[in-house]
Amino acid sequence: MSRARQWGRSGARRLRIVTESQNRAPTLITGGAGFVGANLANRLLAAGEPVLILDNLARAGVERNLAWLRTAYSDGLEIVLADVRDFEPVARAVARSSRVFHFAAQVAVTRSLDDPTSDFAVNAIGTLNVLEAARSLPEPPPIVFTSTNKVYGALPDLELVPQGNRYEPVDERVRQNGVSENRQLDFHSPYGCSKGTADQYVIDYARTFGLVTVVLRMSCIYGPRQFGTEDQGWLAHFMLRALEEEPITIFGNGLQVRDALYIDDLVDALLLADRYRDRLSGAAYNIGGGPANSVSLLEVVEAIGRIHGREPEIRAGEWRAADQRYYVSDLSRFRSMTGWSPRMHIAEGLRRLHAWLVQGREQRAHGLPTAHGIA
């Protein structure tokens, strides 16, 4: 039995908790049970905005996010258990919405290598379903789509030098600002190809059909409500391994650098993308922590050791396909259009993530209900 069917049977009477008195069309969040979607839904519901979540609960643990939202909000939330690969439920949901945040995706490079066909169906065809559903309407809702830095490929021409426990670019501009949207696209891995295809379709539907669409190419996002695994959500995964006193596997030499963005800052960016959608439409924008929040894998392990009080054991693994040695987002384009900048520094963000994970483990150990869903 699928996870969606199990959850639907146990909570079917509670799927719809939006009242008929609310006349406003809801915000549709595809993949709304996931890490990003649940945090955005929480922000909107807290502000009194009705939310419609469409999710198939394919990712382990996300049903906990729905339980959390369902407990926190007695009004304004509707949940549709459906798959973005199925056009009819997608079309019905889009037709009812005032705006769409399209997050539903297959998110792991490793899984795309194991099953490229499924990866393409979810990421490319699922996105096309959302676009076509919107295009069929007399007044299409605006769409904000979360893409990925993987559309730039492995960046093999970016010359790097090791400095301490990290790589640094030789190019001074890249070192100061990061990788910009002017970078040539270079889809690498089935995941990069499927998300890149979706990325370009979303942009083109603004150009060709006049839809209002915004693409955000995201870097490393982290924070509460993230059920990190080795394949995706690596900051949470590293921290969970440390809490469990299990070794952390580092693929490659650990000098790889990413920019990390706290989830609250991403939600701010998503809402600004919608607010300024007319000026942003038909283009892609890099979204991440930027140079001020860049960190290597080894530096994260060291930071976890300081927070946790014991440095985790490290195990070495081979380099993984399509792994970027260095990627840091140049945020200047989106900043100039919206005024947005990250506010949470990674040092404080990691402490907050650690506190959230520890609290959940303690509640579980004492058999208490977990408000944030770690159970």
Dihedral pair phi/psi, residue 84, rounded to 5°: -65, -15
DSSP H helices in the chain: 3-11, 35-46, 62-72, 87-95, 109-114, 116-120, 126-135, 172-177, 189-209, 234-243, 263-275, 277-280, 297-308, 332-338, 346-365
Question: Burial code of 125-149, b = ≥16 C-beta within 10 A, e = fewer?
Answer: ebbbbbbbbbeeeeebbbbbbbbbb
CA angle 154, 155, 156 (to 5 degrees): 90
Q: How far is CA 6 from CA 11, 54, 55, 191, 327, in A?
A: 9, 16, 14, 28, 39
Shortest CA distance to 190 belongs to which of 112, 84, 89, 76?
A: 112
Q: What is the DSSP letter of 341?
A: -
219 and 288 Cβ atoms separated by less than 8 Å: yes
302 and 311 Cβ atoms separated by less than 8 Å: yes
Active site residue 222: no
What is the Cα–Cα distance from 118 to 124, expressed in whole angstroms?
Answer: 10
The H or E element spanning position 326 is strand 326-327
CA angle 141, 143, 149 (to 5 degrees): 175
The pair of three-digit structure tokens given for residue 353, joined into one six-digit string: 């993530």
What is the Cα–Cα distance from 218 to 313, expressed in whole angstroms?
Answer: 29
Catalytically annotated residue among 191, 201, 222, 327: 191
Paired residues of 314 in beta bridges = 248
Q: Residues with catalytic annotation?
A: 191
